[in-house]
Amino acid sequence: MKSLKLFSIVTVVVMLFGLLAACAGQPTKKLVFASDATWPPMEFMDDAKKIVGFDVDLIAAIAKDQKIEVEIKNTAWDGIFAGLEGGAYDAIISSVTINDERRAKYDFSDPYFNADQGIVVRADDTGIKSGTDLVGKKVGAQIGTTGAFEVEKIKGATLKGYDTADLAMLDLLNKNIDAVVVDTPVAADFALNSPQFKGKLKLAATIVTKEVFGVVAQKGDPKKVLPLFNTGLKNVKASGEYDKIYTKWFGKAP
């Protein structure tokens, strides 16, 4: 009888160790991120209606490193911060520029990407070669973005706001506006790689803003997203995975 009890105890212990071992490789936490998937190559919808891009690959690599599960919700830019405040998701990863105004309302991760603002014009335009050439011009930008803020700083330029950057590009192609100002990686992708605009638009100039992008969380970071992201970011940079992701989407290492 004692030997049977001992066998049973050993069996239970072995089963528990097996269960623990099986669980060891499984995600221990799930975080939901919002992203406005209209900014190729940072975040956009592919032909299969799947969210892809640099930000998507980066957060996937960090999730793997930190052994967490990540879900990305495609969320329109004009409501993305309100959704964060209302708890619809845990954080935002969507090419968000870190600035003092936003820092006053939200918490940010360490910077994960550097960018400036690109000026996109029609391919046959020879008159716009810098930000000063936008004076007297009608310029498009996505509402509430750094591009829109930069256009507002140019006295004499008229800003026309759009819900998404691709709508601004389409209006530019149709000659309803003279230029579009948008983050440099997005500007380059639309002007140089997009099947819809390639050969029809060009990246005419850069407005140097020295922006950095970060992940955004509610003040106080109640879900403790940022420490996980920051640690994971350091690890994927140290391992070389960051450079691989960057090269995949931009054709060269950062």
Q: How far apart are CA 204 and CA 180, in angstroms?
A: 10
pLDDT digits (tens, 9 = 90+) for 141-177: 999 999 999 999 999 999 999 999 999 999 999 999 9
Domain count, the chain: 2
The answer to whether position 177 is within a domain reads yes
Q: Of 196, 211, 226, which residue constitutes the final position of a domain?
A: 211
Give yes or no: residues 206 and 230 share one domain.
Answer: no
The answer to whether position 202 is within a domain reads yes
Interhelix angle 54-66/241-250, nearest 10 degrees: 160
Give yes or no: residues 143 and 158 share one domain.
Answer: yes
Give yes or no: residues 103 and 185 share one domain.
Answer: no
Give yes or no: residues 122 and 205 share one domain.
Answer: yes
Give yes or no: residues 104 and 127 share one domain.
Answer: no
pLDDT digits (tens, 9 = 90+) for 46-94: 999 999 999 999 999 999 999 999 999 999 999 999 999 999 999 999 9
Across-strand partners of 207? 117
pLDDT band at 26 (very low <50, low <70, confident <90, very high): low
pLDDT digits (tens, 9 = 90+) for 116-150: 999 999 999 999 999 999 999 999 999 999 999 99
Using a pLDDT cut of 90, give the percent of the chain over it.
86
The answer to whether position 195 is within a domain reads yes
Give yes or no: residues 123 and 72 share one domain.
Answer: no
The answer to whether position 1 is within a domain reads no
For range 14-28, the mean pLDDT: 48
Give yes or no: residues 127 and 79 share one domain.
Answer: no
Give yes or no: residues 88 and 202 share one domain.
Answer: no
**Can you give the residue range of the structural domain that contains 128?**
116-211
The answer to whether position 13 is within a domain reads no
The answer to whether position 4 is within a domain reads no
The answer to whether position 180 is within a domain reads yes
Give yes or no: residues 227 and 101 share one domain.
Answer: yes
Give yes or no: residues 202 and 169 share one domain.
Answer: yes
pTM: predicted TM-score of the whole model, two decimal places = 0.81
What beta strand segments (E) does 110-228 contain?
113-122, 138-142, 158-162, 179-183, 201-213, 216-218
Give yes or no: residues 175 and 57 share one domain.
Answer: no
- The CATH code of the domain that includes 207 is 3.40.190.10
167 by DSSP, 3-state: which? helix
The answer to whether position 10 is within a domain reads no
Q: Which tokens hold the place of 161?
A: 């706001």
Give yes or no: residues 96 and 220 share one domain.
Answer: yes
Which distant-in-sequence residues (6+ apart) come within 8 Å of 68 by Cβ? 27, 28, 29, 30, 31, 228
